[in-house]
Amino acid sequence: MSTDVFLASHSAKKIAEMQRILAEHVPGIRVLGLADVDEFDEPIEDEATFEGNALLKARAGVAATGLPTIADDSGLCVDALNGMPGVLSARWAGRVKSDAANNELLLEQMHDVPDVRRGAHFTCVIAFVMPNGHERVVEGRMNGRIIRETRGHGGFGYDVLFVPEEHSRAGLTSAELTPMEKDHISHRGRALREIGPLIAADLAG
């Protein structure tokens, strides 16, 4: 069984998260990131859907590396903002990606939204593409709400503003959970647990 797969990402935290969860299904798997392969021109994420962007990145990764490739596209969808920032989540405050700027802008846009209308969810679509062209796509979701100030030091992105519904009583943000607690309920964790056995079967077959 081949145990090397490529994840089209620079994010050390995302790579570690993928490695941690996929290892439950594929013992010995090694998730390589963009820093581990020869540099290539990454595609512009200009698709209108999470699935479109995930497949775009996964197909480009296979073409550039020859390795089975995982790519994900994820984002925060806020009810009061008609599902935005959605696919624009990473660039919500501008072309230069900045978690701090994105969170500050979201707080500004939500400042007059009452608590009962602050529902939101994270969506993650994961695409897995084999060198032979075989493709799989799964989606995970985590429901919750947006709070009025940042809290916590873990996670990344909008985690400091998002309280998952599973922790609504305690009011803990995703950034205040341990990695294992977050993996258990997160949109990415759910998608990875679904696709993990499928990846294992594809690599073995």
Instruction: Please tell me the predicted confidence (pLDDT) of residue 2.
Output: 52
87's tokens: 């696919």
Residue 24: give the domain boundaries: 4-204
How many domains are there within the chain? Answer: 1
Starting at the edge strand found earlier in the chain, the sheet holding 4-7 runs 30-32, 4-7, 69-78, 119-129, 135-146, 162-164
Instruction: Please tell me the predicted confidence (pLDDT) of residue 80.
Output: 97
- Kindly give the confidence (pLDDT) of every residue in the chain, 205 residues in length, as a single tens digit, with 9 standing for 90 and above: 458 999 988 888 889 888 888 888 888 889 999 999 999 998 998 999 999 999 999 999 999 999 999 999 999 999 999 999 999 999 999 878 899 999 999 999 999 999 999 999 999 999 999 999 999 999 999 999 999 999 999 888 999 999 999 998 889 999 999 988 988 899 988 998 899 889 988 988 7
Active site includes 79? no
Residue 99 is labelled as binding a ligand: no
**Angle of helix 12-22 versus helix 187-204 axis, rounded to 10:** 60
The type of residue at 29 is: I
Residue 188 is labelled as binding a ligand: yes
Instruction: Please tell me the predicted confidence (pLDDT) of residue 141.
Output: 97
Residue 57 is labelled as binding a ligand: no
Instruction: Please tell me the predicted confidence (pLDDT) of residue 3.
Output: 84
Q: Among the options 4, 41, 73, 202, which is catalytic?
A: 73
148's tokens: 């009025």
- What is the domain-level CATH number for residue 167? 3.90.950.10
Q: What are phi and psi of 5, to 5 degrees?
A: -130, 155
- From CA 125, how far away is CA 195, in angstroms rounded? 10
Residue 159 is labelled as binding a ligand: yes
Number of residues that this document lists for the chain:
205
